[in-house]
């Protein structure tokens, strides 16, 4: 009955538009060969009839499998941030599996570019029709995405953007504005002539994420004409011993430091150091609703956490690929996530 009802719907649209069923089918599946005037006429009739194609029946009839690949960092002892996007990806996969969609998951080490390149090669060596990626290593990601583009494989980026590439879409934070918000939050405990540290704990010191966040951070003080000495420091070795050594050196060189803004989720490592050093006079802000971060937020060692709904990023990224490849929908190029501010007082009610 469903199949007959769907066919009757297409036939009725064709009759009203005075075109063939094949022409209606081309419009429904966003294929070329139809003039803009005819396409508009057909789409107006589709809207008028509230026509809903039976996608499930169509996909089952075609028996064609659509393979999607996910390439994101693996959860590690250093950070469990990637648990949240993975939950969103799994939630989306459960919804779209019935439409003949298969998802392969590929994980790389945040501290190992070679592991990214290895997993990227595995993706390119398989028969995939769409890719979801977090472009952590910028140069390596560019190379991988260019190869996807050359093979006409659409790709969605989450968490970090590479705006000059022809991505299907980017789903994540407005990085500049996120840094701008971080600077404003940091001023609530600062004195007049203050010194603050922008700290990047990552092997990728010049990542697009960090550069955009730092630019937004500095812009806030410039726009509001607030005198402030901003020091930038990169900690490229992310193990606890290296972080402790580098922070000890930084605080020795800048004993009058009033605040630290950490540009990623490793803010808990700084909180642990400040607690051990008994430096509760330094205000601290960072990113992401992780177990380790929440612990120090509750203790008052972290003043604010900035969050960007990572689970929703993973979910929306997968659904964008589904909508493009199955429904032939037009996908919005950029979808900015909320910039949520989490405090000791509201953390118990927040959902990541």
pLDDT confidence of residue 205: 63
> Tell me: the pLDDT tens digits for 337-348?
999 999 999 999
Domain boundary among 307, 325, 346: 307
Q: How far apart are CA 258 and CA 203, in angstroms?
A: 25
% of the chain exceeding 70 in pLDDT: 92
Residue 288: pLDDT over 70: yes
Q: How many residues does the chain have?
A: 352
Examine residue 278 and state whether it is found in any structural domain, yes or no: yes
Examine residue 161 and state whether it is found in any structural domain, yes or no: yes
Structure tokens, 115: 């592991």
Same domain, 118 and 222: no
pLDDT confidence of residue 149: 96
285 closest CA partner among 267, 309, 311: 267
Structure tokens, 66: 């659509």
Question: What is the CATH number for 27?
Answer: 1.10.260.40
Examine residue 97 and state whether it is found in any structural domain, yes or no: yes
> Tell me: the pLDDT tens digits for 90-134?
999 999 888 889 999 999 998 899 999 999 999 999 999 999 999
Structure tokens, 132: 């979801």
Same domain, 130 and 182: no
Question: What is the CATH number for 88?
Answer: 3.40.50.2300
Examine residue 346 and state whether it is found in any structural domain, yes or no: no
Examine residue 347 and state whether it is found in any structural domain, yes or no: no
Same domain, 273 and 215: yes
pLDDT confidence of residue 6: 41
Same domain, 296 and 191: yes
Q: How far apart are CA 110 and CA 80, in angstroms?
A: 12
Q: If you average pLDDT over residues 185-214, what whole number do you get?
A: 84
Number of domains in the chain: 3
> Tell me: the pLDDT tens digits for 309-325?
999 999 999 999 998 99
Q: Residue holding tokens 């003039």?
A: 35
Confidence of residue 296 (pLDDT cuts 50, 70, 90): very high
Same domain, 251 and 212: yes
Residue 10 lies in domain:
2-53
Examine residue 351 and state whether it is found in any structural domain, yes or no: no
Measured at the CA of 308, the angle between CA 211 and CA 118, to 5 degrees, comes to 65
Q: Rounded to 5 degrees, what are φ and ψ at 318?
A: -65, -40
Same domain, 6 and 39: yes
What is the crossing angle of helices 21-28 and 36-49, to 10°?
80
pTM: 0.82
340-342 vs 304-307, strand pairing mode: antiparallel
Sheet with 283-287: list strands edge to edge.
228-235, 194-201, 259-262, 283-287, 304-307, 340-342
Where is average pLDDT lowest: 4-8, 124-128, 251-255, 288-292? 4-8
Examine residue 140 and state whether it is found in any structural domain, yes or no: yes
Same domain, 302 and 187: yes
3-state secondary structure the chain: CHHHHHHHHHHHHHHHHCCCHHHHHHHHCCCCCCCHHHHHHHHHHHHHHCCCCCHHHHHHHHCCCEEEEEEEECCCCCCCCCHHHHHHHHHHHHHHHHHCEEEEEEEECCCCHHHHHHHHHHHHCCCCCEEEECCCCHHHHHHHHHHHHHCCCCEEEECCCCCCCCCCEEEECCHHHHHHHHHHHHHHHCCCCEEEEEEEECCCCCCHHHHHHHHHHHHHHHHCCCCEEEEEEEECCCCHHHHHHHHHHHHHHCCCCCEEEECCCCHHHHHHHHHHCCCCCCEEEEECCCHHHHHHHHCCCCCEEEECCHHHHHHHHHHHHHHHHCCCCCCCCEEECCCEEECCCCHHHCCC
pLDDT confidence of residue 53: 66
Residue 260: pLDDT over 70: yes
Where b means 16+ CB within 10 Å and e means fewer, 162-177 reads beebebbbbbbbbbbb
Same domain, 242 and 302: yes
> Tell me: the pLDDT tens digits for 16-68?
899 998 898 888 777 888 999 999 998 888 877 767 666 655 665 566 889 99
Average pLDDT, the chain: 90
Examine residue 348 and state whether it is found in any structural domain, yes or no: no
Same domain, 163 and 195: no
Same domain, 94 and 153: yes
Q: How far apart are CA 18 and CA 38, in angstroms?
A: 10
Residue 167: pLDDT over 80: yes
pLDDT confidence of residue 208: 76
Same domain, 300 and 318: no
Same domain, 277 and 232: yes
């Amino acid at each position: 009955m469903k199949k007959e009802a769907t066919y009757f719907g297409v036939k009725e649209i064709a009759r009203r538009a005075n075109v063939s069923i094949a022409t209606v089918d081309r419009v429904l599946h966003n294929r070329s060969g139809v003039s803009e005037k005819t396409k508009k006429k057909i789409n107006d009739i589709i809207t008028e009839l509230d026509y809903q194609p039976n996608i499930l029946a169509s996909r089952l009839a075609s028996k064609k499998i659509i393979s999607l690949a996910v390439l994101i960092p693996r959860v590690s002892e250093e950070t469990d941030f990637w648990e949240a996007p993975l939950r969103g990806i799994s939630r989306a996969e459960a919804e779209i599996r019935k439409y003949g969609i298969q998802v392969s998951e590929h994980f790389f080490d945040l501290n190992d570019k070679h592991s990214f390149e290895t997993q990227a090669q595995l993706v390119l060596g398989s028969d995939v029709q769409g890719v979801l990626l977090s472009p952590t290593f910028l140069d390596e990601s560019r190379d991988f995405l260019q190869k996807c583009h050359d093979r006409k494989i659409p790709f969605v980026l989450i968490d970090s953007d590479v705006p000059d590439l022809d991505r299907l879409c980017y789903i994540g934070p407005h990085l500049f504005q996120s840094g701008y918000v971080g600077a404003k939050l940091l001023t609530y405990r600062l004195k007049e002539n203050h010194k603050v540290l922008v700290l990047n704990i990552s092997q990728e010191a010049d990542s697009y994420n960090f550069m955009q966040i730092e630019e937004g951070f500095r812009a806030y003080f410039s726009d509001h004409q607030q005198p402030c000495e901003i020091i930038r420091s990169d900690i490229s070795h992310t193990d606890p011993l290296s972080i402790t050594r580098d922070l000890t050196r930084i605080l020795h060189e800048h004993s009058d430091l009033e605040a630290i803004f950490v540009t990623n989720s490793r803010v808990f490592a700084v909180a642990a150091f400040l607690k051990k050093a008994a430096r509760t006079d330094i205000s601290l802000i960072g990113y992401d609703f992780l177990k380790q971060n929440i612990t120090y937020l509750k203790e008052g060692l972290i003043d604010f956490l900035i969050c960007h709904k990572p689970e929703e990023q993973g979910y929306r990224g997968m659904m964008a690929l589904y909508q493009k490849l199955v429904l032939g929908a037009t996908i919005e190029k950029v979808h900015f996530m909320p910039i949520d501010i989490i405090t000791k007082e509201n953390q118990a009610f927040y959902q990541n």
